[in-house]
Amino acid sequence: MRLFGVLFRLAWRNLWRNHRRTTIMLCAIAVGVWAMIFMTALTRGMVDQMIIEGIRTLPGHVQIHNPKFLDDPSISNPVSISAQQSFDDPEIVAWSSRVKVPAVISSERESRGITLLGIDPVAERHISFIKYDEVDGRFLVDSDDKGIVIGAKLANILETEIGKRVVIMSQDPDNDIADRGFRVVGLYTASTGAVEEAYAFVGRATVQKMLRIGNQTTEVVFVGDDYRDVEALYEVILDAVDDSVSVQRWYETNTYLGSMLNVMDGFVVVWIIVIFLALSFGLVNTLMMAVFERVREIGLMLALGMKPGSILGQILIESMLLLLIGLVAGNMLAWATVMSLQGGIDVSVVAEGLEMFGAASVLYPKLNVDDMILASKVVLVLGFLASLSPAWRASRYKPVEALAKVG
Amino acid sequence: MSAVRCVDLCKTYRQGDQDIKALDHVNLEITSGDFVCLSAPSGGGKTTLLNAIGGLDTPDSGEVYVAGQRIDNLSKSDLADLRLRKIGFVFQAYNLIPVLTARENIEFVMQVQGVPASERREKSLAILHEVGLETLEDRRPAKMSGGQQQRVAVARAIVSRPELVLADEPTANLDSKTAGELMELFTALNERHNSTFIIATHDQHIMTYAKRLIRMLDGRIVEDIDQRAA
């Protein structure tokens, strides 16, 4: 430690000995770190948006079903919890019970397969992705509402509009046709056309009558504080119900979204390492050049009694300083970029492609402190390892040979 | 007391197909406080002998003693310690660390030795005054003349009072006036601090400053003259 002062001073001054080379290398590190963090923030924002939208679209954070419902999502497998049962716990932010069945919707011109959702609009308000006030026309008023709210895109496909009637056809528990006419009272918009095309909302009591199922529902949905941490909520629900129902977390219900989160975490690490590998060539080259240019000096220091370990330390400190400055600059640059893009990035030009993955046409980069720390750790740890070779080489010089090198 | 003792030193280098005997059974004893010039034509073995005495190179055979301690069988780490604490070096060129100022260069060895900052500063300023460079303490080597750089190197070599100062052609890159001034400084420091000086040179004028002149040829000592008697 007593030598750290002189090693640090030598490393710092040697770093700025060749301003141009150091500046270029710092720019490369800063841009690399910026790319690591910004691209991660962009992807993180996109996936976050997809998951949040996906969760809001239907699954909530935790769901209750009949154990057979996941294999056969029909009214034949109702959940054995009455719509009148209530749940009360601080972990539960909102909950709602639904009737969710496959159905066919027909206008006078077109028919389409959809998922019909019988909901209680009051309970659903805090769960649904639909902003009731922004619905064209009106949203459902209560569970007995006789109207139907469909997506704007579905209305377009069916060539129908507000005020017109559509027919919903499904199956009752005895597999008999159950149908009913509904008047379109509202058109909702969603972040993706696929959602607008897939879901139609009707009053829960109305659809229960249509399907002749009394008070039965097919799922109960719960929302907690954070979709990333649903364990506490899951435990509360598990304690509140018996074995006759199956309780699932959102990522078990929607495995696509669940795997998306895992893929994202893996992608972040791979992305950071790939960029670092590109950077490491520049770093090692810079250090090799710096060592090669200073062979005589290193020989002199060894001759004067400095130990090889101190030479090794000096080169490593130099490398760490270079990386630290580049990291600070890169982190600040990434932070500034993400802050300036808080209004979102309009990528509507490739919206159709993004829609395939369930992503919206406006991306909101999400800066995650953990990602910044991860990028910094990877750069420092791998940078340290990459620097070992030139540093080791410098420390192995024999003083008499190094002093004799022709500069 | 013996500052340096070499017993039957041999060192052979391979150059192409030829073996060059840089040291050929060299026996030598230098007493403490002496001022010795090693003289030889290029390739005569003076630098090899100096490097062996300074622990920078190891002989093929024979023994080297510095201040009574045998050094030819020491580990690299122990040799580094020996150079740090007992020997001061002045080389022909590239003597200073370019990114450090004159004072920092002088303090470098003391800093590696672990001397406290206040003591380092006090000693470095005193030695800078002694070598006549007190106004250049914050100047970096690139902003100093060759003579000034060598004076700083001498100051660094002597500042921690080593038992032995080894100088390998310290005046080779200097004009005759500056070389003379540097030799005056060497002799003054030798008398004042009683350190042992061994200077390798092939400059006849420089040899006149030495108390003892050792001539080498083809790796052998061919003449050993006590110039005080002359």
pLDDT for A10 equals 93
Q: To the nearest 10°, report the CA torsion of A373, A374, A376, A377.
A: 110
A136 — pLDDT class (breaks 50, 70, 90): very high
- CB distance A10–B84 less than 8 Å? no
Q: Is the pLDDT of residue A83 over 60?
A: no
Task: Say if residues A215 and A191 touch (Cβ distance below 8 Å).
Answer: no
- Using a CB-CB cut-off of 8 Å, the residues of chain A touching B172 are none
The distance of Cα B27 from the centroid of its chain, to the nearest Å, equals 19
Better pLDDT: A99 or A228: A99
- Restricting to B residues 36-75, those with a Cβ less than 8 Å away from any Cβ of A are 51, 54, 56-57
C-alpha span between A51 and B199 (Å, rounded):
79
- Using a CB-CB cut-off of 8 Å, the residues of chain A touching B168 are none
- CB distance B97–A300 less than 8 Å? yes
pLDDT for A187 equals 95
C-alpha span between B212 and B219 (Å, rounded):
18
Residue carrying the six token digits 């190197």 = B153
pLDDT for A182 equals 95
How many structural domains compose chain B?
A: 1
Give residue ranges of A with CB < 8 Å to any B CB.
Answer: 2-3, 5-6, 9-10, 13-14, 17, 296-297, 300-308, 310, 399-400, 403, 407
Tens digits of per-residue pLDDT, A264-319?
Answer: 778 888 888 888 888 888 888 888 888 888 888 999 999 999 999 999 999 999 99
C-alpha span between B133 and B126 (Å, rounded):
10
- CB distance B112–A306 less than 8 Å? yes
C-alpha span between B121 and A118 (Å, rounded):
86
Tell me the Cα Rg of chain A: 31
pLDDT for A363 equals 80
Q: How many CB atoms lie within 10 A of CB A125?
A: 15
Q: Judging by DSSP bridges, how do beta strands A136-137 and A177-188 pair with one another?
A: antiparallel
Two tokens, residue B11: 């060192």
pLDDT for A354 equals 63
Q: Is the pLDDT of residue A201 over 80?
A: yes
Given a cut of 70, the residues of chain B with pLDDT beneath it are 94, 229-230
C-alpha span between B84 and B76 (Å, rounded):
12
- CB distance A3–B111 less than 8 Å? yes
- CB distance A300–B95 less than 8 Å? yes
- CB distance B80–A3 less than 8 Å? no
User: Residue B199's domain is classified under what CATH number?
Assistant: 3.40.50.300
A82 — pLDDT class (breaks 50, 70, 90): low
A150-154, A207-211, A358-362, B138-142: the lowest-pLDDT one: A358-362
- CB distance B100–A13 less than 8 Å? yes
Residue carrying the six token digits 């982190």 = A331
Q: How far is B81 from chain A (nearest CA, A)?
A: 6
Task: Say if residues B113 and B84 touch (Cβ distance below 8 Å).
Answer: yes
> Least CA distance to B48: which residue of chain A?
A400
String of b and e for B81-103 (b: at least 16 CB within 10 Å)?
bbbbebbbbbbbbbbbbebbbbb
> Least CA distance to B88: which residue of chain A?
A304
- CB distance A297–B98 less than 8 Å? yes
Give the domain extent around B211. Answer: 2-226
Two tokens, residue A51: 């998951």
pLDDT for B92 equals 82
pLDDT for B38 equals 94
pLDDT for B212 equals 94
A1 — pLDDT class (breaks 50, 70, 90): low
pLDDT for A269 equals 83
C-alpha span between B143 and B146 (Å, rounded):
10
C-alpha span between A105 and A112 (Å, rounded):
5
A145 — pLDDT class (breaks 50, 70, 90): very high
Q: Is the pLDDT of residue A405 over 80?
A: no
Tens digits of per-residue pLDDT, A98-120?
Answer: 999 999 999 989 999 999 999 99
Q: Please give the mean pLDDT across all residues of chain A.
A: 86
Q: Considering chain A, what percentage of its residues have pLDDT values greater than 70?
A: 94
Two tokens, residue A120: 């209680």
Tens digits of per-residue pLDDT, A45-70?
Answer: 888 777 777 776 666 888 888 888 87
Nearest to A202 by CA among A170, A248, A225: A170
Q: Is the pLDDT of residue A342 over 70?
A: yes
pLDDT for A93 equals 87
Q: Is the pLDDT of residue A76 over 70?
A: yes
- CB distance B111–A5 less than 8 Å? yes
C-alpha span between A89 and A85 (Å, rounded):
14
- Restricting to B residues 207-226, those with a Cβ less than 8 Å away from any Cβ of A are none
**ipTM of the prediction:** 0.91
Q: Considering chain A, what percentage of its residues have pLDDT values greater than 90?
A: 37
pLDDT for B229 equals 67
Q: Which of A297, A301, A399 sits opposite B56 (nearest CB)?
A: A399
